[in-house]
Amino acid sequence: MIKVLVAEDSSVVREFLVYILGSDPGIRVVGTANDGEQAIEAVKRYRPDVITMDIHMPKMDGLDATRRIMETDPTPIVIVSGSTDPHETETTFRALEAGALAVLKRPNGIGHPDHETTTRELVQTVKLMSEVKVVRRWPRVRRDAPATRPAEMGLARAPAQVRIVAIGASTGGPPALHTVLAGLPKAFPAPVLIVQHMAGGFIQGFAEWLAQSASLPVHVAAHGETILPGHVYVAPDEHQMKVEHGGKIVLTRDAPENGLRPSVSYLFRSVAKVYGSAAVAGLLTGMGRDGAEELRLLKEKGAVTFAQDKDSSVVHGMPGEAIKLDAATFVLPPDKIAAALVNLANHRGRNINGV
């Protein structure tokens, strides 16, 4: 039985969430909180396995409550937000940076056509997050971290040029990506393509949050656009993203892979086909194995590949699977991944043209 604490200031929404979660035989709601201060006290009293956390609450908001809980009684936290407005989601992503594991839209009400889908997503996410036993707070990026040289990566030599960087992430990915992108300089000569598994409606806000700390422009990818050096492209909701010859992004409604759309596997397979040894690709923290087999394919084609190390991962599923497959050229924490990308790009020439 999974013990859940519901922190939500609206009594109507709070009762709705309690009803949804309590309807599952594997979940028991052990307590509720009207504000952040009550949430902190309730964690000590009830010792929940998972917390659903609202962001906008009186006395203490969900961000500060998340920080305090992660400092004193680390517990898996799922942010349940009533807004997906990009201009209002900054605090939500700061909560992920502070240690929350996932963000979801508040489930739609009874009678809404998406009610069953959104309630099922909440229940499944709570169950999955209850399996995360260690929740880590992310250190700030160490800008003075020494760059990892090609020789230290086990590379006999660095290939001629980097034409593209492709990254996949899931649970715990936003703060890891935040760290990687914050460590890349404005003059970074390659485009960066990202697939981040995330609940629908938050990708635009996620891209804007990443852009606040990145030196590179961050966009939600658009169909048919030309991939530009020194730009970051995030796969949009409910679309598969791939690259094609000529250096363009293609978005499709192709079927989910590994149950996911966008899928890291889908992107990586196209990168392997189009860019081959001129690519750098890697997997960050996340549940499952999306992208692991395709990362091995990229490595076999001569690309430099990486996986996030276990100690810095919230969940070592995706990168761990890649490591088991010997798909990762090197294994590093996010800040050192950024330094390694800079080093590789600097050693591989600067003629970053379309394929």
Fold match flag (2-129 vs 150-347): yes
36-62 pLDDT, tens digit per residue, is 999 999 999 999 999 999 999 999 999
Q: pLDDT band at residue 141, thresholds of 50, 70 and 90?
A: very low
Residue at 74: amino acid letter? P
Length of the chain: 355
178-205: average pLDDT: 94
Q: What is the mean pLDDT of residues 196-211?
A: 93
In the structure encoding, which two tokens stand for residue 159, read together?
């290939």
Q: Which two tokens stand for residue 95?
A: 């909560």
CATH code linked to domain 2-129: 3.40.50.2300
Query: Between residues 330 and 84, which one has the greater pLDDT?
Result: 330
What is the tens place of the pLDDT at every residue in 75-117? 999 999 887 777 678 888 999 988 899 999 999 888 889 889 9
Percent of the chain with pLDDT over 70: 90
3-state helix, strand, coil in the chain (%, to 5): 35, 20, 45
pLDDT digits (tens, 9 = 90+) for 143-153: 444 545 544 55
**Are 141 and 255 spatial neighbours (Cβ–Cβ below 8 Å)?**
no
What are the tokens at 331?
């294994």
Beta strands in 88-209 (DSSP E): 102-105, 164-169, 192-196
Instruction: List the domain boundaries for the chain.
Output: 2-129, 150-347
Residue 233 in this model has a pLDDT that exceeds 90: yes
* Architecture (CATH level 2) of domain 150-347: 3-Layer(aba) Sandwich (3.40)
Q: Looking up tokens 């485009």, which residue turns up? A: 191
Burial class (CB in 10 A: 0-12, 13-18, 19+), 224: exposed
Mean predicted lDDT score pLDDT of the chain: 89
Which 3 state secondary structure label does DSSP give 236? coil
The Cα 220–Cα 249 span in angstroms is: 11
CA–CA separation, 103 and 205 (whole Å): 12
* Predicted pLDDT of residue 85: 74
Amino acid at 140: R
Q: Is 196 exposed, middle or buried (0-12, 13-18, 19+ CB in 10 A)?
A: buried
The least confident of 8-12, 90-94, 271-275, 318-322 is 90-94
Which are the contacts of 201, defined by CB distance < 8 A and separation ≥ 6?
84, 105, 237
CB atoms within 10 A of CB 13: 17
Q: What is the pLDDT of residue 145?
A: 45
Is a pLDDT exceeding 60 seen at residue 174? yes
Burial class of residue 87 (count of CB atoms within 10 Å of its CB; 0-12, 13-18, 19+) = exposed
* Nearest-angstrom CA–CA distance, 311 and 308: 9
On the question of pLDDT at 284 being above 70, the answer is yes
Residue the block writes with tokens 């909701």: 237
Please give the residue that has the higher pLDDT: either 82 or 212.
212
Catalytic residues: 170, 197, 290
292-300 and 264-274 helices, crossing angle to 10°: 10
- Write down the pLDDT at residue 111: 87
The per-residue pLDDT for 352 is 33
- Measure CA 13 to chain center: 27
Tell me the per-residue pLDDT of 237-283, one tens digit each, with 9 for 90 and over: 999 999 999 999 999 999 999 999 999 999 999 999 999 999 999 99
Q: From CA 204, how far away is CA 223, in angstroms rounded?
A: 15
* Section 215-244 average pLDDT: 97
Place of tokens 């430099």: 304
Asked if pLDDT for residue 351 goes beyond 60, the answer is: no
Residue 253: the pLDDT is 97
Confidence (pLDDT) at 143: 43
Token pair recorded at residue 119: 């309630």
Report the pLDDT value the prediction gives residue 156, as an integer from 0 to 100. 42
Q: Which of 138-152, 213-227, 281-295 has the lowest mean pLDDT?
A: 138-152
| Tokens matching residue 293 | 């087999």
